Chains A and B, each alone.
Chain A
């Protein structure tokens, strides 16, 4: 197993003109579709799956992988430009990215996202090439108890996302967790809060909820004080990063990459956890922490690199164990089976050209994305200068189609509208939407793993502290909670005293 010769084998596959071409097509399609609100990689790959039937397996997978990270990238573009996170992992990017865009720094935010993602993608690909099997072993160590503890840590960290009042952020997280309970209960099969609507049996769809609460709600807010908005988007200054910007993003990019590479390996939401864990971390560590929530460039750099690193390493469970870690990977497995390759633990030895070709193509795909997207930044930024009264109907139109495309059903369009109202009421009451969405994503995983762990341990709660991994995660969560609550409490006390 000589790494160099393996990489050469991979390069000889990935750099075939045909495979480069399909990789490029994948990245291009992925980016194009990612910037359309609501159309994420899952829907796109599902729609384009039939096209790959006629291709050789390597080309098909390289193209699908290109769509995956292209769409991931495009999702952050909409998050930054119009406050519309198309992917769960870009919810966090929307917080500071959109504020940067409002301050006229959309170009810098997009460039940060592109460069941070490229760096993270490169590092994660090297990691994938060198240490895929040992990293996969880490994933196997995460049983239900460990997942539960990790989710607790994630929830605690998400409190840090809020820039306003702490109790209100906590209320939003809990509300999000409660929305996550809608649908069939995994453990007992009992439907909860479905009101006999078949579409609700699988729960509320994240993309529909997020488009309502972020996208539609943002449009409503902008329409309310329309004249104000045209002045509030400052004139676009400087498309590129300044020296100062570069200095500020190096640390966050490195830390985000490290966190993302590790958490991405965990099947089921690792990459998404990584994006906001890294945001929460930067908010603690950064010397510019006061700027967070108001357009801090670190708040774009960290989650974007974490998310892209995680996207690359999320291939590890699939490529080394044959087990897909998220819906996109499940689709890739479907594509592989159609091509006559059943992914399994032996895929590295049975199909070395495919395995190493995919790895090398990930890097070349990331390179293509950066080359493709840096020149596009100017175009995207110009899009913001389109008069708002022409822009917002188009956004609504694409949101409707995007919501429809999730399950080819209009039900999700209604859900999106409904959550537009919910988001609007919450914003009137000054509740922040980001913690709600995170609670909504984490809720089902938290509950499922809690109850699964209790089921396996026959109702013995010590299972969460008996595993050293789970125990350390819980202890870490306790420390983070103390850190988050401490300044809040002291501030409250001061306020009470000054009364």
Chain B
């Protein structure tokens, strides 16, 4: 059996092949047409086939060529989850809470991703940035989002 010499590229190549297969699968209902009369599916399918070929080439190389030295990876799942989910949460509550509270929650939330975070700093930073962003974006730039949304009692406006 062949021994894989560059595990990272092996997975990388396979990932590309999977991506291409996904595009072919989700585009299966698009008309492909031919090279003279291309349908909407022509370009994606051709590109997918090309990507499969390149992916295969990367896989073959990973079996033949040794990996260059590279630093080992560290994984920090908490940070990953906070930084990715922070903006998602921002998107979900923005229209309800309004910019100021949303911004505050986002900043305090994602700041916890750092190992140097401390609550006092995060809260101060959150307050500072929510005031700044309200002044800048809702007052100066007239972005269509209110400082306080309808979920906030008394202060909120639609």
Chain A interface (Cβ < 8 Å from any Cβ of B): 33, 44, 47-48, 50, 165, 167-168, 170-171, 174-175, 177-178, 181, 185, 187-188, 190, 192-193, 195, 216, 219-220, 223-226, 387-390, 392-394, 396-401, 403-405, 408, 410-411, 413-414, 416-417, 420-421, 424-425, 428-431, 447, 450-451, 454, 459, 461, 495-496, 499
Residues of B with C-beta under 8 A to A178 = 19-20, 23, 44, 47-48, 51
Residue pair A185, B94 in contact (C-beta under 8 Å): no
Residues of B with C-beta under 8 A to A190 = 30-31, 40
**B153 contacts the other chain (Cβ, under 8 Å)?**
no
**B155 contacts the other chain (Cβ, under 8 Å)?**
no
Residue pair B141, A496 in contact (C-beta under 8 Å): no
Residues of A with C-beta under 8 A to B137 = 401, 405
Residue pair A393, B141 in contact (C-beta under 8 Å): no
Residues of A with C-beta under 8 A to B106 = 393, 396-397, 400
Contacts beyond the supplied A167-B58, A174-B51, A459-B36: 16 A-B pairs with Cβ under 8 Å:
A165-B61, A171-B55, A178-B47, A190-B30, A190-B31, A192-B40, A224-B73, A392-B110, A393-B126, A394-B125, A396-B106, A399-B87, A413-B88, A414-B87, A450-B38, A450-B43
B111 touches which of A50, A389, A403, A450 (Cβ 8 Å): A389
Q: State in angstroms the CA–CA spacing of A468 and B141 once bound together.
A: 48
Residue pair B133, A397 in contact (C-beta under 8 Å): yes
Mark each residue of chain B from 39 to 83: 1 if its CB lies under 8 Å from any CB of chain A, else 0. 111011001101100110110010011000010011110011001
Show 25 residue pairs from A and B whose CB-CB distance is below 8 angstroms, ordered by the A residue: A47-B142, A165-B9, A167-B54, A177-B47, A178-B23, A195-B26, A223-B79, A388-B116, A389-B114, A389-B117, A393-B111, A394-B129, A396-B86, A397-B107, A397-B133, A400-B86, A400-B87, A401-B103, A404-B91, A410-B94, A413-B88, A413-B94, A414-B91, A421-B84, A450-B43
Residue pair A171, B74 in contact (C-beta under 8 Å): no
> Smallest Cβ distance from A49 to chain B, in angstroms?
10
**B157 contacts the other chain (Cβ, under 8 Å)?**
no
Residue pair A224, B110 in contact (C-beta under 8 Å): no
Residue pair A193, B86 in contact (C-beta under 8 Å): no
> Smallest Cβ distance from A26 to chain B, in angstroms?
14
Closest to A212 in B: B87
Residues of B with C-beta under 8 A to A424 = 80
A193 touches which of B23, B65, B88, B92 (Cβ 8 Å): B23
Residue pair A168, B58 in contact (C-beta under 8 Å): yes
> Smallest Cβ distance from A330 to chain B, in angstroms?
20
Q: Is the interface of B mostly helix, strand, loop or mixed?
A: helix
Q: Is the interface of A mostly helix, strand, loop or mixed?
A: helix
B12 touches which of A396, A398, A429 (Cβ 8 Å): A429
Q: State in angstroms the CA–CA spacing of A429 and B110 once bound together.
A: 25
> Smallest Cβ distance from A331 to chain B, in angstroms?
15
Residues of A with C-beta under 8 A to B41 = 192
Residues of B with C-beta under 8 A to A421 = 84
Given contacts A167-B61, A171-B58, contact A400 B90 (CB under 8 A): yes
Residue pair A167, B110 in contact (C-beta under 8 Å): no
Residues of B with C-beta under 8 A to A420 = 83-84, 87
**B145 contacts the other chain (Cβ, under 8 Å)?**
yes
A-B residue pairs, 3 tightest by C-beta = A410-B91, A389-B114, A459-B36
Mark each residue of chain B from 89 to 112: 1 if its CB lies under 8 Å from any CB of chain A, else 0. 011101100010001001100110
Residue pair A47, B36 in contact (C-beta under 8 Å): no
Q: State in angstroms the CA–CA spacing of A171 and B111 once bound together.
A: 35
Residues of B with C-beta under 8 A to A50 = 142
Q: State in angstroms the CA–CA spacing of A357 and B122 once bound together.
A: 49
Closest to B48 in A: A178
Residues of A with C-beta under 8 A to B31 = 188, 190
> Smallest Cβ distance from A172 to chain B, in angstroms?
9
Given contacts A413-B91, A420-B83, contact A404 B145 (CB under 8 A): yes
Residue pair A48, B87 in contact (C-beta under 8 Å): no
